[in-house]
Amino acid sequence: MLATPTFVSADPALFNPQSGRLDAARIASEIQLPVSTIAEAIGKKAPSVRKHPDASSLQPELRRVYRIWVAIVDLYAGSKKNARIFLNAPNKHLQNQAPVEFIESGDLKPLEALVEAMTTRQPA
């Protein structure tokens, strides 16, 4: 979880309109990653995430991915294209790893810390 939570604006496109819950498939599509990668990031099996992408059991971990994505989009003035470039580019504050590598491995803490530092304008 972020050390000092910052306000993250809601992106309705990432929520299932029927349940009102975050939807792993919608998040994967938005970030342009496979659902299996999002499943790995949140510590769940891909088939069950594909079958029930907005399950209540997924919500706590999906919120972490959601907060990271929405914060990065906000930092890039709403440009999802630039946010995707940020996710895929090596970052000196992450030992020259691309932020997406942390999503792929399910190690969200360093990425959460970096996003928090960026949103509060603190050195990482």
- Each residue of 66-81: pLDDT tens digit? 999 999 999 999 999 9
Give 89's DSSP letter. Answer: S
In a domain, 68, yes or no: yes
Whether 7 maps to a domain, the answer reads no
- Confidence class for position 120, pLDDT limits 50, 70, 90: confident
What average pLDDT does this structure show over 61-69?
A: 97
Q: Which domain holds residue 56?
A: 18-119
Contact 100, 108 (CB under 8 A): no
Is 2 contained in some domain? no
Domain tally for the chain? 1
Does residue 54 carry a pLDDT above 70? yes
Residue 96, in any domain of the structure: yes
What proportion of the chain, given as a percentage, has pLDDT over 70? 90
In a domain, 11, yes or no: no
- Residues with Cβ within 8 Å of residue 34, at least 6 apart in sequence: 28
Mean pLDDT, the chain, as a whole number?
Answer: 91
In a domain, 56, yes or no: yes
Report yes or no: 2 and 42 within 8 Å, Cβ to Cβ: no
Per-residue pLDDT, 4:
43
Residue 3 falls inside a structural domain? no
Q: Is residue 124 part of a domain?
A: no
